[in-house]
Amino acid sequence: MAAGQARGDASVIRAVSPADHDAIWAILEPVIRAGETLAIPRDMTRQAALSLWLSSDRTVRVLEEDGAVLGIFYVRANQMGGGAHVANAGYVVAQHATGRGIARRMCAASLDLARAQGFHGMQFNFVVSSNVRAVALWQNMGFAVVGRLPEVFDHPALGYVDALVMFRAL
């Protein structure tokens, strides 16, 4: 993967600044509006989406390549109290940049971040089963399907589809 390596070398994963908000919304808006992968209202406003994604209980990073923000992800505790040793994470890639390994790089970085923060595992609560590329990628990144939630996602084109719970130890 020489080309992938070269791209990887030109990219950086870094914390978010207020100057990134336009770029983050440009990534989130089409994915939210499409409503095919995230359990987020399709009509969510920019302000609500940024408040959700940048909420204080999350550690948020963006992936920047040649000055352009191409992806965003967060890591947080999935539960409080006795469940606080397991992380949750979420990722969104700019639609024009899919298929280039950006989700994979962000996932790898999120696993490193979660390990550094002392988490023992990472759990995805709601992976839409029709998002087969994501499911395959998470499996490739070491996540196992530990639950299947029947018809819990109302896909705009496919109707009710299952969602998966995925987990890996750290």
Minimal distance in Å, beta carbon 96 to its own copies?
A: 23
Rule CB under 8 A: say whether 8 interacts with its own copies.
no
74 scored as a contact of its own copies (CB under 8 A): no
Out of 24, 128, 131, 157, name the contact with its own copies by CB under 8 A. 128
Contacts of 53 (CB under 8 A, 6+ apart): 24, 28, 60, 72, 74
Nearest distance from C-beta of residue 104 to its own copies, angstroms: 24
- DSSP E strands in 11-129: the ranges are 11-15, 59-65, 68-77, 86-93, 121-128
**Closest approach of Cβ 149 to its own copies, in Å?**
6
Site residues for its own copies, 31-70, by CB under 8 A, read: 35, 38-42, 44
- Specify whether the CB–CB gap between 150 and 162 falls below 8 A: yes
State residue 150 phi and psi, 5-degree precision.
-75, 120
Size of the site for its own copies (CB under 8 A): 38
145 CB-contact burial (10 Å; exposed 0-12 / middle 13-18 / buried 19+): middle
Query: Residue 124 in contact with residue 141, Cβ under 8 Å?
Result: no
Window of 5-13, 17-25, 105-113, 156-164 that interacts with its own copies by CB under 8 A: 156-164
Asked if 132 interacts with its own copies (CB under 8 A), we say no
Q: Which stretch binds its own copies (CB under 8 A): 8-16, 20-28, 98-106, 153-161?
A: 153-161
